[in-house]
Amino acid sequence: MSQEIEVPMWVRLSQIGIGSLAIILSILAVAIPAIGPVMAIVLVAVTLSIVGIEAIITGFATPSLSKKSRIISIALGLVILGFGIFTIANPDKSVNFMLFIVAIALLINGAVRIIRSRSKEERNKTFKFQLMTGIISIVLGIIVLAVPQIGFAILVIVIVVALIIQGIELIIGGIKGKRMGLFKK
């Protein structure tokens, strides 16, 4: 379903630059505690915006991608860029919204795991593991709702790790000069 495609040199260089910038900004967001939580979110949002721009550039500038892959790259890049810009403009609202969504997701996930652990098919196989992860998920959801600072720290760390991985992938893609397309031409 996917294919490896050639990428123009200027796109390769932008991938290396954007990937490096994503890694540096992500590390700065957690490495300098004095910048404060709002600034950390703004740095992460700037990094997200840069990654969104890279996806848009790739969609427009890589004719060897299938039409579907190009449209998806541009659309997702616009969504990521939009979210980054919204977060830069409203860091407090964005953080509170993300924390609420994470907490609700943890609570629902925990409930589903506990219910699943009680089913007859799963009872013999993974009962204890499902039950334990369900309880942990619910406890984490309650902690995120009750103590937003802990939820914020977890959220920043997860986003930073994801952006560092994305940055590394961009650098490797830029060095290799190839990118995986989602759909064959």
* 1 pLDDT more than 60: no
d(CA 157, CA 142): 19
d(CA 157, CA 44): 10
Non-local CB neighbours of 17 within 8 Å, separated by 6+ positions: none
Give residue-wise pLDDT tens across range 60-106: 888 877 888 889 989 999 998 998 898 888 887 877 887 888 788 88
**Domain boundaries of the chain, sorted by first residue:** 3-181
d(CA 114, CA 1): 36
Give residue-wise pLDDT tens across range 8-45: 788 788 888 888 888 887 787 777 766 666 777 777 78
Query: What amino acid is encoded at 155 in this protein?
Result: L
d(CA 156, CA 152): 6
Contact 145, 103 (CB under 8 A): yes
Task: Please state the separation of Cα 180 from the chain's center in Å.
Answer: 18
Task: Name which of 16, 21, 23 is nearest 165 in CA terms.
Answer: 23
Give residue-wise pLDDT tens across range 3-17: 556 777 887 888 888
